[in-house]
Amino acid sequence: MDVFLIQLLNGLDKGGAYALIALGLTLAFGTLGIVNFAHGALFMLGAFCAVTVQQILTMSVKVRDESITFFEAYKEQPYLEIWWGDTGTAIIDYAVPISILFVIPIMLLIGLALERGLIKHFYKRSHAEQILVTFGLAIVLQEIIRAFFGANPIPTPAPDIVAGSAAIGSFLGLSDNLVYPWWRLIYLAFSSLVIFGVFAFLKFTTFGMVVRAGMADRETVGLLGINVQRKFTIVFGLAAVVAGVAGAMYAPILPPDYHMGMDFLVLSFVVVVVGGMGSLGGAVTAGFLLGILQSFASMNEFKAIFPGIDQIIIYLVAVIVLLVRPRGLMGREGVMED
């Protein structure tokens, strides 16, 4: 039972990240018809927003380290700690949650700028050309980050209060062995909340209704005098925000480096394809499903029978799904079939 629960939690946790990125990808594809290979780079940019906020908060003055006597060593003391003592230390400790406040407007602006500046010129071009231009954009973005932040992962810790793990087993009256890191639980709750928020926004707001109508029949909505394009541009910005906050919140789990977006992008495309191109529900379902499968495939019991299954399970499932249901789990007829 413990083994099952912990692998399930781990799968949901991984699945949350996959689902968030896949959701943004699908939003852009469903509205603008753009296959956005730069979406992983937006996830990475979000994580680096968290890094930047942390670096701003920890801007330091160099002071002599008196404990080193046989050469002149210096240690860094953040200005916030000098000015505000323990309050300053606490603010630095909460760098990642604080960064979310900045990630949302910054990523929205980046998303809008990308759509207006580049993506809109490729609406009527083939998917192959869209993939080429967005892939090129992803490379440019990651090289910019590499130039500013270097190639090394940058530790971006969660606040101390949630640095340990939660005794879920004791709480549920199960084994004491069942523990799970607090931040990963927070990430799972956060990703669920964002997914729910996006669905609620599309389902229950007038804006969302127009967007959904536009996705179904763009021409008719346009004939009603609604500027569908403007709504879709905002949706692209929204997709960038979703990817950005997903990246920022993921920073304490995996120290960000310039390449992290590309690592997630490939998996997320598999998730989108398995879920069905253009299906928001499909993207989320497939994200969690594949995360859980990957987690269970890592159990030694499975690996003893199928060595290396943890490395290939996602692709294996993708192949099977595409053979049995070529449009993916929840794909619609006519999407990317022209």
Nearer to another protein by Cβ, of 3 and 319: the residue is 3
Could you tell me the smallest distance in angstroms from the CB atom of residue 204 to another protein?
34
In 10 A of CB 293, how many CB atoms? 19
Select the residue interacting with another protein from 85, 136, 155, 326 (CB under 8 A). 155
Distance CA 17, CA 96 (A): 17
State yes or no: residue 81 binds another protein (CB under 8 A): no
> Helix or strand or coil: residue 99?
helix
In 10 A of CB 118, how many CB atoms? 14
Closest CA to 16 of 296, 282, 246, 298: 246
Residue 15 in contact with residue 287, Cβ under 8 Å? yes
Residue 119 in contact with residue 236, Cβ under 8 Å? yes
Cα-Cα-Cα-Cα dihedral of 62, 68, 73, 75, to 10°? -30
Options 23-31, 48-56, 61-69, 129-137: segment touching another protein (CB under 8 A): 61-69
Torsions phi, psi of 69, nearest 5? -105, -30
Select the residue interacting with another protein from 56, 59, 68, 189 (CB under 8 A). 68
State yes or no: residue 254 binds another protein (CB under 8 A): yes
State yes or no: residue 72 binds another protein (CB under 8 A): yes
Could you tell me the smallest distance in angstroms from the CB atom of residue 75 to another protein?
5
Select the residue interacting with another protein from 24, 181, 247, 328 (CB under 8 A). 181
State yes or no: residue 6 binds another protein (CB under 8 A): yes
Enumerate helices (H) and strands (E) in the chain, giving the number of each.
Answer: 15, 4
State yes or no: residue 151 binds another protein (CB under 8 A): yes
Binding site for another protein (CB under 8 A): 2-3, 6-7, 10, 13-14, 65, 67-68, 70-75, 150-153, 155, 163-165, 167, 177-181, 183-184, 253-255, 260, 263, 294-295, 298-300, 303, 310-311
